[in-house]
Amino acid sequence: MPARGLGVTGAVARFLPEFVRELFALITHLGDAGLLLAAVALCYWFGDRREGAFSLAAVLGALALTLALKGLFELPRPPAGLHVGHAGGYGFPSGHAIGATTLWGLLALVLERGSPHRRAVAAASVVAVVATSRLVIGVHYAVDVAVGVVVALVYLGALLRIADWNPTRAFAVAAGLTAAALATNGLTPDSVATLAGVVGAAAAWAALGALDARPRGAVTLPAAAVGLGALGLVGYAGNRPDLSLAAVFGLNLLVPAGILLLPSLVERARRSRSASPT
């Protein structure tokens, strides 16, 4: 793609004050994989279980789709001298744009606060801010984020049509995209982590269905805080650069599986306490 060029990215680096770029380096985390998983965890724990599990599958599929496309095109990021903070891997398309569009598009559909129009505007605003942040901090070209948003919209529309809010079908789509990511990237830490996430989540959802153990009650706020903290630590450990691929797989298997299993664990603990003699 010879016409990618520096364009907007170079102009932003030249004319924006450094403190503005540092601010956008914080804002860009709204598209991080960890935040995407935390958001769908809260949707699953405090909302409709089916929609939450579907959203988890959609986000995992978006991560796999990003890897597959990056490995297919193998296009570099802008020069490192333009970056604010660290960004590794290939640059096209923007994973943050794909992830943010997928997540916030889903939230606009599943959340019940406000009108659909207002939710759509809010989602589009967040996506625009995240996409802009990738240019401001110098880690993507304009075409990277534009294509990322378009890819995510097409992906989300196709997923809704194919899976129709069925989590099992959505996990199957995510598995197919993960196979594509492995084909274009090989066995890398990122592709192995994505594979582990899809396997863990799909297996947990299937097990809950087989055992008829999908609880309907909401997780308590303290349990959610503990769950997010524990799963966040596991996810952080699973992305350390010095880990073996086997360790990467094992740790990243636990995070999405833990998201799906936490309500059952909380419900079981609640029943145990209520059954205990006082």
- Residue 215 scores a pLDDT above 60: no
Burial of 222 (0-12, 13-18, 19+ CB in 10 A): exposed
Question: pLDDT for 33-91, tens place per residue?
Answer: 899 999 999 999 998 889 999 999 999 999 999 999 999 998 988 887 777 777 778 88
Q: What is the mean pLDDT of residues 226-234?
A: 93
User: Does the pLDDT value for residue 2 go beyond 50?
Assistant: no
**What's the burial of 141, exposed, middle or buried (CB within 10 Å: 0-12/13-18/19+)?**
buried
> Residue 190's Cα: distance from chain center in Å?
13
- Give the CA-trace dihedral at 189, 129, 65, 2, to 10 degrees: -90
The answer to whether the beta carbons of residues 157 and 107 sit under 8 Å apart is no
Q: Which residue has the higher pLDDT, 252 or 16?
A: 252
With bands split at pLDDT 50, 70 and 90, how would you rate the model's confidence at 1?
very low
What is the spatial distance between Cα 116 and Cα 177, in angstroms, rounded to a whole number? 29
The per-residue pLDDT for range 152-198, each reduced to its tens digit, is 999 999 999 999 999 999 999 999 999 999 999 999 999 999 999 99
Q: For the residues 220-243, what does the mean pLDDT come to?
A: 91
Helix, strand, coil % (nearest 5) of the chain? Answer: 75, 0, 25
The torsion defined by the Cα of 191, 197, 200 and 204, in degrees rounded to 10, comes to -150
Report how far residue 265's alpha carbon sits from residue 208's, in angstroms, rounded to the nearest whole number.
Answer: 11
pLDDT at 8 exceeding the cut of 90: no
Using the predicted structure, report yes or no on whether residue 275 has a pLDDT greater than 80: no
Q: In the structure encoding, which two tokens stand for residue 150, read together?
A: 């378009």
Position 244 pLDDT exceeds 70: yes
- pTM of the complete model: 0.89
Query: Average pLDDT for residues 23-38, to the nearest whole number?
Result: 88
Instruction: Please classify residue 250 by burial: count the beta carbons closer than 10 Å to its beta carbon, then call 0-12 exposed, 13-18 middle and 19+ buried.
Output: middle
Quote the CA–CA distance of 163 and 155 in Å, as a whole number. Answer: 12
